[in-house]
Amino acid sequence: MLLTIDVGNTNIVYGLFDGQKLVHQFRVESNRGRTSDEYAVVLRQLLSMADVDASKVTGAIVASVVPTLTEPMVALVKRAFGKDALVVGPGIRSGVPILYENPKEVGADRIVNAVAAYERVKGACIIVDFGTATTFDCVSPKGEYLGGVIAPGVNISADALFARAAKLPRVEIAKPPKVVGRNTVHSMQSGIVYGYVGLVDGLIDRLVEELGYPCKIIATGGIAKVIGPLSSRIEEVDDELTLVGLRILYERNTEE
């Protein structure tokens, strides 16, 4: 089995693949103060709860946008499974030409998503990843990573509203009954959710216009299931996109 580890600013997502099939997925908080030993204990417990024999893990790959957690993840894999983890970064064979001005600046998750999306679409695509930040990543018809957009995530935007407006309560980020809110909670939900849908659709419109060719629009990330169905531009929501991209990268870099 292959262990894939996607380290984000808010959560760490572990995926376990049996061949090309994702059989288990676990999500834990990204705690920068936790040691590799602590992470190892938590992961072994999660595997035990899922009746997974840890000895069946034969390889691992890590994509991290939190530098202080990259080494603990590598150490976790070594301690828990006795394996050397492959880390997504400079030097890894992605199969995707990176046309960013400085390729080293591109987050590992953005490259992983581009790899997975292009492998599926085999053509031009835009990946919208709803994480701590929301990223829009553009891939050309030839499979080149072109760059994209980084916007404040929906949770960051909502937190700013809660923090700066003393009389407004903290609300769940969910679709309200109507756009016209008839109470404070629904009014806030409408502004947060539909306001963000407008941001997403507006940016996609501008990206497609600038690129000059049709693109498949794929969304992933925590809040994608809320925003995706309300968007007029997002065509598909795939929670597993990043983990699948990690599997593809591992295969490309370990083929004999």
Q: Which of 37, 51, 84, 109 is catalytic?
A: 109
Collect all residues with Cβ–Cβ distance below 8 Å to 256 and sequence separation of at least 6.
none
Candidates 12, 16, 20; CA nearest to 4 is 16
Are 117 and 125 spatial neighbours (Cβ–Cβ below 8 Å)?
Answer: yes
Asked about 109 being catalytic, the answer comes back as yes
The beta-strand segments (E) located in the chain are: 2-7, 11-18, 21-29, 59-64, 86-87, 125-130, 133-139, 145-152, 216-221, 236-237
The torsion angle over the Cα atoms of residues 144, 252, 234 and 155, rounded to 10 degrees, is: -100
Are 7 and 88 spatial neighbours (Cβ–Cβ below 8 Å)?
Answer: no
Catalytic residues: 109
